[in-house]
Structure 1
Amino acid sequence: MKLANIIKHLEAIDIKGNIKIEIKGLAYNSSSVKDNYVFVAIEGFQVDGHKYIKDAISNGAKAIVVSRDIEVSEDITVIKVKDTRVALSNLSAAFYRQPSKNLELIGVTGTNGKTTTIYFVKSVLEASKRNTSLIGTVETIINGKSFCSSHTTPESLALQGMFNSMLLKKVDTCVMEVSSHSLQLSRVNDCDFNIGIFTNLTHEHLDFHGSMENYYSSKKQLFYNTNDFNIVNIDDYYGSRLATELKSHKTRLLTYGINNDADINAKDILFYKDCSEYTINTPTQKVKFKTRIPGLYNIYNSLAAVACGFALGIDLQQIKKGIEAVTSIPGRFQVIPTDKDLNIIVDYAHTPDGFENVLRTISEYAKGRIIIVFGCVGERDYTKRSKMGQIAQRYCDLSILTTDNCRSEDPKSIVNEIKKGFNKGDKPYIEILDREEAIRYAIINSSKEDTIIITGKGHEKRQIIGDKTIYFNEREIAKQALKELELTSLKNSKSLIHL
């Protein structure tokens, strides 16, 4: 593709050099540059791409996109723009010939529930025979093939490449998580969204956004870039506010909820240990539903998917089939199988609201003690740590405080921040900084009918400590601890027989 065609709609401040050259690819990492590539110099939080321009040219770059004045050899085309992140999105979409315009693209944003919602939506769409792809925190699925995800929402270049791959595989619909970071950092600027879904907004990412108001402003950008429908949870404070603001917007608004008068709502709710039953009311029909993932918050997630299916004109019986086909979500209220009278659950909950949703659900059916293993990540929002401690003490009989991805932060100092939320004399907590040992301790020291909840990492299979990333699979650790518990029980049983 000619460079002139790629930059046709780019808002450039200045262009020096030949724009008729043939371009074979784009890159924002100099090590990914090949012959006849365009290198986009992004100013990151830790690394400035402008420092690697010489490396990019050495690797074969023929054009450079920059946001400051630079000097290079005469045979290199230099394009100066105001914001190279915005430029990367624009160029990526142009290079892949605007692939999202040929997809039914559904974006889901909010603090909690994004991952579960996109799996519900995907199942609903597949029940209506759509070839659906998914992009999210856990994985990317294209035409049935799964790829691990490194970000909730990929960088714009990778994202546009994924859309292009979907079209090559005859995919017609894509549902994706849209993070506040991706909106703030222009990753989804050139995505042609048909539907936007808002789940909720609670305390999270304030280290990045600075305030809830800034966080909200980032999220709502999605809903001014949709073409067909905006779907909003009006039981959420910020959702209600967003719905009010969107009433005058050109895109059609569809609301969902339980407590307020929404277009799509759930009534007659019954909660069980492993499912929930309820009646869905739409403007045209009323049908009984069941979701096999328990908890009130998962009813909200399913409602978002029902509303999406309704907006797309899918029959309510097909929507019901799709919702009821979802039996688990990776790392979301994921039950570890055991033949003991013991419940072990792994969940990604890492925000105060998500934390409380999971623990409240467990408290509604737990017969024995509720034991939690959790920590907080390092180098991130400090203000939520004590709140997590308060919530843990309110719902749990024993809290085991441990590490999460502490990065370069002292894990002991993180635990000390969590401990500020605990009141002396109330339900106990202990500290075991080795996360694997903390999980083992919880399981080996459990009693009949206890429920053990391990939160924070969910689907993740790694732990970041300092500058090292190590393999860490909580499901495997839990299963091994169960074997140790079985051996301990067997030894005790033999001792009793001998006596």
Structure 2
Amino acid sequence: MRLEQLLHELPLQASHGDLSVAVAALTCDSRQVAAGTLFFALHGTKVDGHRFIHQAVASGAAAIVLEDPTYAPAQIPWVQVTNGRQAMALMAARFFGQPTRDLPLIGITGTNGKTTTSYLLEGILTAAGLPAAVLGTISYRFGDTCIEASHTTPESTELQGIFRQLADAGAKAFVMEVSSHSLEQRRVDGSVFDVGIFTNLTRDHLDYHGTMQAYSSAKQRLFSELLKPDTSTPVRHAVINADDPAAEDFIQAAACPVIRYGLAQDAEVTVREMSSSVNGISAILVTPQGEQPFHSQLLGGFNLSNILAAATAGVALRLPLQAIVQGIEQHTTVPGRLERVVNGVGVTCLVDYAHTGDALENVLSTLKELATARIITVFGCGGDRDNGKRPIMGRIAADYSDLAIVTSDNPRTEDPHEILRQIREGILPLGLREYSPDELTTNPEYKGFVMLENRHEAIRLGVQLAKPGDILLLAGKGHEDYQIIGTTKHHFDDREEASNAFRERT
């Protein structure tokens, strides 16, 4: 494709050279530049891409898109734009043939519930005869095509290429988790959304956004800008969780019709006659299209909210109610989301990705309602991330559990013991007893907690202490199969660790 085609209707500040030059690839990483590549020089959070323009030129770049003309090369064509990231996203969509223009695209944003909602939607769309590709935290996949997820939402040049690959593989719809980072960095600009879902808003990513208002505003872009109806997509819908305190902010931000879901009075999609047990959730789904009973194997009120989010998106797309219920009922589990670890000792061992205070409280409150014996929770907090949530998560884990085992979770470049100390600060006001690992092996008499930095040993301790009927929750890492220590990834999977520990125990 020629550069001038990619620039169609894109406002330019200045340009230089032959804009009819052929472009064979796009990237903002100078290390990936080869002959014919269009290189985007972006102002990053850590490095300035303009400093690598000379390297891109030396590697055979066809042209440069930049914001600062001070770095403009004389040898090859270049264009100056106001917002490099937005330009890159729009040009990437054109380069890959606008893959989301003719297929339904549902974007899911919110602090928690995005992944489970995406899996539910995959089932609903498939039941409706629209086999869906899913792009999320765990993977980007469709049928036999599965690409390991580098980010919840990849960079725009990668994202549009993945859309094209999955569409060519036969996908008839797209479901995408949309992170606040990607909205702030305009990675999803150029994607044509038909439905946007807001799940909830609780504290997360403040290490990046700084304030809850900035975090919320980033997520609101999906509804205020990217769901604005236009001539290509005149009908778009915002699906909003009416039960969340931030709902009204997102409703006010929406530039398209809103459909509310939840248990609130003004929710257009809700349930009645609901019952919940260790076997799942049963209820009658109530929608503007009619009512239908359903049973889901998912557990807890937070998963009911995820079910309603997915069902409401189906309603927005005018899918048959029967297909919506079929998709809900056929869904069984999501990797790392209350995923069971089978064992022969009668312990309910669950692995969950809960890594925010709200997510951990949702999971533990559900387990508390279902528990017939003790709850033992193994959890930690990631390094180089928002440290304000550490004492919050410590308090929640210790308050809801009979025993909280505080351990490492991707310490990265931080001192693991300092992370544990900050978690401990949230537990101390509860007045609980702090045990040593050795004391616990003699069966603790009182509710309490223990600090054990080594996650391998922490999981083994939890398995060793759990009795038949107990619930053992391994929280924080979920589907992840690695532990980041320093800047190095080491293989580590909570599910494997627990399985091995139970096998040795029996």
Answer whether TM exceeds 0.5 for this pair.
Answer: yes
| Conserved 8 A contact 1:42-1:84 | yes
1:242 pairs with 2:250: yes
Shift of residue 277, structure 1, vs aligned partner: 0.8
Shift of residue 304, structure 1, vs aligned partner: 0.8
| Conserved 8 A contact 2:242-2:262 | yes
| Conserved 8 A contact 2:289-2:321 | no
Q: Which runs of 5+ in 1 are unaligned?
A: 487-499
Shift of residue 67, structure 1, vs aligned partner: 1.6
The alignment partner of 1:436 has SS state of helix
The alignment partner of 2:370 has SS state of coil
1:179 pairs with 2:179: yes
- Number of the residue aligned with 1:347: 352
1:424 pairs with 2:431: yes
| Conserved 8 A contact 2:53-2:71 | no
| Conserved 8 A contact 1:38-1:64 | yes
- Number of the residue aligned with 1:460: 480
Deviation digits for residues 276-316 of structure 1 (CA, Å, limit 9, x no counterpart): 11111112312111111111100110001111111222221
The alignment partner of 2:496 has SS state of helix
User: Which residues in structure 2 correspond to 1:191-206 (within 5 Å)?
Assistant: 191-206=191-206
- Number of the residue aligned with 1:62: 62
Amino acid at match of 1:425: L
User: Which residues in structure 2 correspond to 1:313-332 (within 5 Å)?
Assistant: 313-332=318-337
User: Which residues in structure 2 correspond to 1:105-124 (within 5 Å)?
Assistant: 105-124=105-124
C-alpha distance in 1 between matches for 2:422 and 2:332: 36
Shift of residue 339, structure 1, vs aligned partner: 2.4
C-alpha distance in 2 between matches for 1:198 and 1:144: 29
Deviation digits for residues 371-401 of structure 1 (CA, Å, limit 9, x no counterpart): 1111101111111111101111211011111
- Number of the residue aligned with 1:470: 490
Deviation digits for residues 303-331 of structure 1 (CA, Å, limit 9, x no counterpart): 01111111222221221111011100011
- Number of the residue aligned with 1:267: 272
Shift of residue 72, structure 1, vs aligned partner: 5.7
Shift of residue 71, structure 1, vs aligned partner: 4.9
1:413 pairs with 2:385: no
Amino acid at match of 1:243: I
The alignment partner of 1:102 has SS state of coil
User: Which residues in structure 2 correspond to 1:208-219 (within 5 Å)?
Assistant: 208-219=208-219
- Number of the residue aligned with 1:93: 93
Count of matched residue positions in the alignment of Structure 1 and Structure 2: 483
C-alpha distance in 1 between matches for 2:199 and 2:258: 14
1:23 pairs with 2:30: no
- Number of the residue aligned with 1:359: 364
| Conserved 8 A contact 1:62-1:75 | no
Moved more, 71-80 or 11-20: 71-80
Shift of residue 244, structure 1, vs aligned partner: 4.4
1:254 pairs with 2:274: no
Query: Could you say if the C-alpha distance between residues 245 and 94 of structure 1 is closer, same or farther in structure 2, counting changes exceeding 3 Å?
Result: closer
- Number of the residue aligned with 1:46: 46
User: Which residues in structure 2 correspond to 1:128-207 (within 5 Å)?
Assistant: 128-207=128-207
C-alpha distance in 1 between matches for 2:431 and 2:170: 60
- Number of the residue aligned with 1:494: none
| Conserved 8 A contact 1:235-1:260 | no
C-alpha distance in 2 between matches for 1:277 and 1:197: 23
Shift of residue 40, structure 1, vs aligned partner: 0.6
Shift of residue 275, structure 1, vs aligned partner: 0.7
The alignment partner of 1:241 has SS state of helix
Shift of residue 245, structure 1, vs aligned partner: 4.6
Shift of residue 432, structure 1, vs aligned partner: 1.0
The alignment partner of 1:101 has SS state of coil
Query: Could you say if the C-alpha distance between residues 235 and 47 of structure 1 is closer, same or farther in structure 2, counting changes exceeding 3 Å?
Result: same
| Conserved 8 A contact 1:256-1:265 | yes
Q: Which runs of 5+ in 2 are unaligned?
A: 230-235, 434-446
Identity of aligned residues (%): 38
C-alpha distance in 2 between matches for 1:240 and 1:359: 27
C-alpha distance in 1 between matches for 2:131 and 2:347: 39
The alignment partner of 1:271 has SS state of strand
- Number of the residue aligned with 1:300: 305
The alignment partner of 1:267 has SS state of strand
C-alpha distance in 2 between matches for 1:308 and 1:120: 10
The alignment partner of 1:364 has SS state of helix
- Number of the residue aligned with 1:479: 499
Shift of residue 209, structure 1, vs aligned partner: 1.3
- Number of the residue aligned with 2:388: 383
C-alpha distance in 1 between matches for 2:318 and 2:161: 29
| Conserved 8 A contact 1:444-1:484 | no
Shift of residue 241, structure 1, vs aligned partner: 3.1
The alignment partner of 1:42 has SS state of coil
The alignment partner of 1:335 has SS state of strand
| Conserved 8 A contact 1:233-1:304 | yes
Deviation digits for residues 39-77 of structure 1 (CA, Å, limit 9, x no counterpart): 111222222222222221122102111221245653311
Amino acid at match of 1:302: I
Shift of residue 82, structure 1, vs aligned partner: 2.1
TM-score scaled by length of structure 1? 0.94
Shift of residue 35, structure 1, vs aligned partner: 0.7
C-alpha distance in 2 between matches for 1:425 and 1:405: 26
User: Which residues in structure 2 correspond to 1:384-403 (within 5 Å)?
Assistant: 384-403=389-408
C-alpha distance in 2 between matches for 1:8 and 1:328: 45
Deviation digits for residues 424-470 of structure 1 (CA, Å, limit 9, x no counterpart): 33631111111111101110222221111011110011111112111
Query: Could you say if the C-alpha distance between residues 317 and 84 of structure 1 is closer, same or farther in structure 2, counting changes exceeding 3 Å?
Result: same
Aligned-residue RMSD, C-alpha? 1.4
1:451 pairs with 2:471: yes
